[in-house]
Amino acid sequence: MGRRKRSSVARRRHVPGDEPPDEAGPDEAAVFLSEMLADLVRMARRHRLDVLTYLLSMAQLEAEEHVRLRSRGRLS
């Protein structure tokens, strides 16, 4: 059997600023994920992928909640 070709997503080249720095902690990761998930939600919604839109939206809300709670804790 032949091997499957990689999708265009898998072949995507690394773009500087596309990933959080290696030394980033969980708070920075949550901010990064929230931003990336927002893009993915828009894409899923545009293509009418309803279940995927819902799941990605839930993940985005979770990341935003983490950021919000950590920010509030630092202000106290």
Rounded to the nearest 10 degrees, what angle do helices 50-75 and 26-46 cross at? 150
Q: Output 68 or 20, whichever has higher pLDDT.
A: 68
Domain of residue 51 covers 26-75
**In the chain, % of residues over pLDDT 90:** 59
Residue with structure tokens 């708070």?
A: 27
pLDDT over 50 at 73, yes or no:
yes
Examine residue 17 and state whether it is found in any structural domain, yes or no: no
pTM over cut 0.85: no
Total tally of structural domains belonging to the chain: 1
Examine residue 20 and state whether it is found in any structural domain, yes or no: no
Examine residue 21 and state whether it is found in any structural domain, yes or no: no
Say what the pLDDT of residue 19 is. Answer: 62
Examine residue 63 and state whether it is found in any structural domain, yes or no: yes
CA atoms within 13 A on the CB side of 31: 10
Q: Output 76 or 51, whichever has higher pLDDT.
A: 51
Examine residue 70 and state whether it is found in any structural domain, yes or no: yes
Tell me the per-residue pLDDT of 10-37, one tens digit each, with 9 for 90 and over. Answer: 444 545 566 655 668 999 999 999 999 9
